[in-house]
Amino acid sequence: MDPTILWAIILIAIGAALIILELFIPSGGLIGAASIACFIGATYLGYQAGNTAGLVTLCMSVVVIGIMIYLALKIWPHTPMGKNAIPTGEDPAGAVTKPLQHLMGLRGVSKSTLMPNGRIEINGKSYDAVSPGTIIEEGVLIEVLSIESNRILVSRVDQADPQPPTIDNASDTIEFSTFEDDLEQSLGD
């Protein structure tokens, strides 16, 4: 066997291995580029051995690339990296909201001024909360009206108020600021 054809076959095998490796190691495309270089080199060496050998090497490269990509995509979703990269059917907002649902209707105290964001304390635990567009001073009795995504909507409550306040369709009438906005503002100061 001609050594150039042997080297072409070795380069095709290395290129195939690099395709698989590209899916498992985040390299920004460097491993994929090396794989393409191997296939181009194999094709070049094949044509150095003759036109027929070059055409066979080119066809082998194309077939191997197709097979390796197919196999890699079949295997990759079952790897830890693939599982993290592919979105699941779970609602990410629901995953945040569920642990906070027990706060609905509970009363606590504002630990900072809510303008409309701030800190509250309920049953000895501190939480970030949002008021419905009104300023709530520090130390005021509050009640949790709703939980939306990771936002706890609270309202001021008078000490003698036996009936908890309600808000109809809070998501349509209230504009919330976000934690990221507060963070950017505090970092900008």
* 97 and 129 assigned to the same domain: yes
Do residue 111 and residue 179 come from a single domain?
yes
Residue 33 shares a structural domain with residue 81: yes
Would you state the pLDDT for residue 173? 45
Q: How many domains are contained in the chain?
A: 2
In this structure, the number of other CB atoms found within 10 A of the CB of residue 49 comes to 19
**Predicted local distance difference test score (pLDDT) of residue 93:** 53
Distance CA 118, CA 116 (A): 7
Domain co-membership, 150 together with 127: yes
SS3 88: coil
133: left (phi over 0), alpha (psi -120 to 50) or beta: left
| Whole-structure pTM value | 0.45
CA-derived radius of gyration, the chain: 30
Whole-number Å distance between alpha carbons of 110 and 136: 8
> Rounded to the nearest 5°, which phi and psi values hold at 163?
-95, 125
Residue 186: predicted pLDDT: 61
Token reading at 148: 């939306």
User: End of a domain among 85, 110, 141?
Assistant: 85
pLDDT score, position 41: 95
Tally of CA atoms within 13 A in the half-sphere of 74 that contains its CB = 6
Residue after which a domain boundary falls, among 70, 85, 100 = 85
On whether both 39 and 100 belong to a single domain, the answer is no
**pLDDT for position 171:** 45
Same-domain check for residues 80 and 96? no
Q: Looking at residue 167, what is its pLDDT? A: 47
Q: Which domain holds residue 7?
A: 3-85
Q: How far apart are CA 103 and CA 148, in angstroms?
A: 12
Low-confidence ranges of the chain (pLDDT < 70): 87-98, 160-189
User: What is the reported pLDDT for 176?
Assistant: 47
Both 115 and 46 in one domain: the answer is no
> Within 13 A of 186's CA, how many CA atoms are on the CB side?
8
